[in-house]
């Protein structure tokens, strides 16, 4: 019987120089354990070593602390989220429609992976860290790229895209968070609710930028 059909079979020893594969296996297995546990927490070393069939020293060679493992898991989540956003916005012609598709993809990804979503987004930055990993994630950088397109189309004013990107991220995250943590509220069909709410918020954001450019004397 193969290892795939027998999860309790001993794991085959990796060839020299392929330790990176074990690191990836640890991350993938930890994410799977989060999904299966129904809890937004990192699995313990005991859970991981038992699931993978490895020794604790083998685990600690790749992740010497829970913080290191948590960082890797959050990075993996945002990497996967970034890929989902890229797929959702491919071949959409206008920046505003890309923004809408991006927001829906963010909400959909959170709803499909609620425990991983809560795990990755609710954790505060590590004490002493000078930056938040969200800002350098492919997901946020993709959003910032769409904001730059809105600037290029003169729907947003020229300038640094960080602040408007953070504002749009906050709107999208707020909708996703409520749908994930309060699914019992009377939202109706969740994706339809998310689509209408996000689009209204994004249009309102564009309109607010127009008013700011016009100034109080031009209203």
> Highest mean pLDDT: which of 39-43, 135-139, 169-173?
169-173
Rounded (10°) angle between helices 19-37 and 114-122: 110
Contact by Cβ (8 Å): 12, 3: yes
Rounded Cα–Cα distance for residues 83 and 215 (Å): 39
Contact by Cβ (8 Å): 110, 80: no
- Residue labelled with tokens 């895209």: 161
Q: What is the pLDDT of residues 115-168, one digit of tens each?
A: 999 999 887 766 555 557 788 899 999 999 999 999 998 888 888 999 999 999
Rounded Cα–Cα distance for residues 46 and 41 (Å): 14
Computed over every residue of the chain, the mean pLDDT equals 84
On whether the pTM is more than 0.85, the answer is: no
φ/ψ of residue 90, rounded to 5? -70, 135
Topology adopted by domain 66-218: Tetracycline Repressor; domain 2 (1.10.357)
Topology adopted by domain 1-64: Arc Repressor Mutant, subunit A (1.10.10)
Q: Find the mean pLDDT for residues 8-17.
A: 43
Q: Find the mean pLDDT for residues 178-193.
A: 93
Task: Provide, rounded to the nearest whole percent, the portion of the chain with pLDDT above 90.
Answer: 56
Enter the tokens of residue 169.
């991220």
Mind giving me the DSSP string for 82-109?
HHHHHHHHTT--SHHHHHHHHHHHHHHH
**How confident is the model at residue 17, as a pLDDT?**
47
**How confident is the model at residue 133, as a pLDDT?**
79
Rounded Cα–Cα distance for residues 176 and 208 (Å): 23
The reply to whether 1-64 and 66-218 are identical in fold is: no
Enter the tokens of residue 200.
């209204």
**How confident is the model at residue 167, as a pLDDT?**
93
Show me where the domains of the chain are located. 1-64, 66-218
Contact by Cβ (8 Å): 73, 27: yes
Decide if pLDDT at 12 tops 90: no
Q: What is the pLDDT of residues 56-107, one digit of tens each?
A: 999 999 998 888 899 899 989 999 999 999 999 988 988 999 999 999 999 9
């Amino acid at each position: 019987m193969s290892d795939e059909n027998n999860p309790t079979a001993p794991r085959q020893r990796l060839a020299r120089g392929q330790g990176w594969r074990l690191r990836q296996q640890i991350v993938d297995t930890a994410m799977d354990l989060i999904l299966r546990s129904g809890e937004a927490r990192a699995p313990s070393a005991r859970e991981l070593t038992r699931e993978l069939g490895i020794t604790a020293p083998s685990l600690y060679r790749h992740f010497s602390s829970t913080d290191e493992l948590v960082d890797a898991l959050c990075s993996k989540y945002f990497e996967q989220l970034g890929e989902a956003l890229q797929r959702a916005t491919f071949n959409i012609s206008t920046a505003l429609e890309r923004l809408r598709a991006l927001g829906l993809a963010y909400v959909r990804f959170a709803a499909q992976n609620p425990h991983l979503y809560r795990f990755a987004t609710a954790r505060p930055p590590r004490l002493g860290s000078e930056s938040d990993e969200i800002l350098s994630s492919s997901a946020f950088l993709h959003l910032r790229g769409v904001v730059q397109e809105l600037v290029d189309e003169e729907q947003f004013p020229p300038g640094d895209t960080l602040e408007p990107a953070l504002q749009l991220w906050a709107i999208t995250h707020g909708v996703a968070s409520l749908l994930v943590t309060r699914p019992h509220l009377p939202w109706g069909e969740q994706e339809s609710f998310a689509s209408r709410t996000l689009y209204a918020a994004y249009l309102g954001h564009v309109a607010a930028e127009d008013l700011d450019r016009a100034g109080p004397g031009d209203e």
